[in-house]
Amino acid sequence: MILYTPIDIEFEMPNEQEIIDWFHKHKIQDTNYWEYREGRHTWCYVALRQEPKSWYTYDAWLDWANERQPIDDPDLVFHPGFEERFPGLAKCIRELPFDQIGTSGFIMQMNEIPAHQDTITEYDPIEPRRYIIYVTDPEENTFYLWYNGKKYYPNIDNKYRCFAFNNNDIEHGADAPINTKILLSTVGIMNEQKHKELIQRSIEKFNNKVIRV
């Protein structure tokens, strides 16, 4: 079983401090969404499948959270100024194998996150299927996969920061970060064939960094 693989999408990573500054300027202003209340993550949207009333409220997430189904006439919309400021990250998001992206956003970890599974939907393809981009220093990675009572910490490739991990078969979590830790998470309706081809290509290319059990 494969728990983790880097993803074969090459793009130019922006300066870490620019990402941190952009995050704090554009993060959600609400403080009543569940991940914030539980001290897990602070969110910041970067792309949605339709224009929100506001980029700064939790309501923009509800389009996807309440209806994890395809919608008619989706139109991937980037947060104003994001694609121009961070073209490499936007390129990677566009190349992920989704028919519809529900939401893509930065998540800044606040505290330790216990091992858990993300929401499972009827559109989940083969594992590994959760796509993440590690945008702050991967040398300070605290993310792990939890299997049979053991933590597996991935060796995140500094050049290929996008990775996929297994969500349905195992749990994952994160130790408390030492410094600022921000990931970019993208979810939506996946194209199963494109996903399968990308995962297979990535496993072959990064065979020495794939985590198997």
Give a yes or no: residue 13 inside a domain.
Answer: yes
Give a yes or no: residue 59 inside a domain.
Answer: yes
Closest C-alpha among 106, 107, 104 to residue 39: 107
Supply the range of the domain harboring residue 37. Answer: 2-188+200-212
pLDDT band at 122 (very low <50, low <70, confident <90, very high): low
Closest C-alpha among 145, 150, 148 to residue 210: 145
Give a yes or no: residue 195 inside a domain.
Answer: no
Give a yes or no: residue 84 inside a domain.
Answer: yes
**DSSP per-residue codes, 131-149:** EEEE-S-GGG--EEEEETT
Give a yes or no: residue 139 inside a domain.
Answer: yes
Length of the chain, please?
Answer: 213
Give a yes or no: residue 127 inside a domain.
Answer: yes
Query: CB-hemisphere CA count at 13 Å for 160?
Result: 18
| Ordered strands of the 77-78 beta sheet | 77-78, 41-48, 98-109, 182-190, 130-134, 162-165, 2-6, 211-212
**Structure tokens of 193?**
């064939």
Count of domains observed in the chain: 1
Give a yes or no: residue 47 inside a domain.
Answer: yes
Gap between the Cα atoms of 97 and 99, Å rounded: 7
pLDDT band at 120 (very low <50, low <70, confident <90, very high): confident
pLDDT at 175 over 90: yes
Mean pLDDT of 171-194: 96
pLDDT at 48 over 80: yes
User: What's 154's domain CATH number?
Assistant: 2.60.120
| Ordered strands of the 113-116 beta sheet | 113-116, 171-174, 143-147, 150-152
Measured at the CA of 33, the angle between CA 47 and CA 134, to 5 degrees, comes to: 45
Give a yes or no: residue 193 inside a domain.
Answer: no
H-only helix segments in the chain: 16-26, 34-37, 59-66, 82-85, 87-95, 192-205
pLDDT at 151 over 80: yes
Query: Could you tell me what percent of the chain has a pLDDT over 90?
Result: 86
